[in-house]
Amino acid sequence: EPEVTQTPSHQVTQMGQEVILRCVPISNHLYFYWYRQILGQKVEFLVSFYNNEISEKSEIFDDQFSVERPDGSNFTLKIRSTKLEDSAMYFCASNRNYNEQFFGPGTRLTVL
Amino acid sequence: GQQLNQSPQSMFIQEGEDVSMNCTSSSIFNTWLWYKQDPGEGPVLLIALYKAGELTSNGRLTAQFGITRKDSFLNISASIPSDVGIYFCAGRRSNDYKLSFGAGTTVTVRA
């Protein structure tokens, strides 16, 4: 069964460094998302991406964040200058239509 | 984001018991989804609901889309040890792409 995959599974970085989190959505899906989950808290929406542009973003998704679909398979989230409070699990999700969203296993980002 | 109130926050149950949890919102949703998350992993979709009043089953799981479109519940019948985990409700409003998540219900099963 097709799955969303994410790399790396764990990323440790120094505060102020740039990180790029990578996702490969399910191949015939058209809508792509990033969510984050701070330890012990609920899943929070960051951004959605459709037709090569951002379709919706939350107040969390400020100028430090960007997304890109550099080719036909990858979907990336970049954090330009990481802060301690960016430490969280980051989940990529995708779907073919508006409804069910399928999540990847996540990348645990630790900012020191 | 939209506030989803999920309850209970946690529950301890005996193996074989039934489990119920629910989510309520002040907003109307077009879609309700229920996910299960194991530690260190991503949410796994259990059930999707699209119509008010809809009742859908997936094995021992049953979920309903409330008729007001502002609530949903999930039942797990005859719980087993592998039902342990955190269950999240999520809803999508008609003009949104995003899902709004509840805070989760942590289920622990005693053998």
**Residue B2: its pLDDT value, please?**
63
Q: How much is the average pLDDT of A50-79?
A: 94
Q: Does A104 touch chain B (CB under 8 A)?
A: yes
Q: Is A11 helix (H, G, I), strand (E, B) or coil?
A: strand
Query: CA nearest A43 in B: which residue?
Result: B101
Q: What is the pLDDT of residues A86-111, one digit of tens each?
A: 999 999 999 998 789 999 999 999 99
Q: What is the pLDDT of residues B89-104, one digit of tens each?
A: 999 998 898 999 999 9
**Among the partner residues B41, B45, B50, nearest to A102 by beta-carbon distance:** B45
Q: How much is the average pLDDT of B4-23?
A: 95
Asked whether A9 and A70 are in contact (CB, 8 A), the reply is no
**Residue B102: its pLDDT value, please?**
96
**Residue B10: its pLDDT value, please?**
95
Q: Are A103 and B1 in contact (CB < 8 Å)?
A: no
**Residue B1: its pLDDT value, please?**
56
Q: How much is the average pLDDT of A66-92?
A: 95
**Residue A102: its pLDDT value, please?**
96
Q: What is the pLDDT of residues B28-81, one digit of tens each?
A: 999 999 999 998 899 999 999 999 999 999 999 999 999 999 999 999 999 999
Q: Are B92 and A102 in contact (CB < 8 Å)?
A: no
**Residue B30: its pLDDT value, please?**
94
**Residue A49: its pLDDT value, please?**
96
Q: Are B103 and A42 in contact (CB < 8 Å)?
A: yes
Q: Are B101 and A108 in contact (CB < 8 Å)?
A: no
**Residue A8, preceding peptide bond in cis (omega within 30° of 0):** yes
**Residue A105, preceding peptide bond in cis (omega within 30° of 0):** no
Task: Report which DSSP code applies to B67.
Answer: T
Asked whether A33 and A93 are in contact (CB, 8 A), the reply is yes
Q: Does A66 touch chain B (CB under 8 A)?
A: no
Q: Are A56 and B97 in contact (CB < 8 Å)?
A: yes
Q: What is the pLDDT of residues A11-61, one digit of tens each?
A: 999 999 999 999 999 999 999 999 999 998 999 999 999 999 999 999 999
Q: Does B87 touch chain A (CB under 8 A)?
A: no
Which residues of chain B are within 8 Å of residue A48 when distances are taken between CB atoms? Answer: 97-98
Q: Are A42 and B102 in contact (CB < 8 Å)?
A: yes
Counting Cα atoms < 13 Å in the Cβ hemisphere of A79 gives 26
In DSSP notation, A12-35 reads EE-TT--EEEEEE--TT--EEEEE
Which residues of chain A are within 8 Å of residue B1 when distances are taken between CB atoms? Answer: 44-45, 58
**Residue B33: its pLDDT value, please?**
97
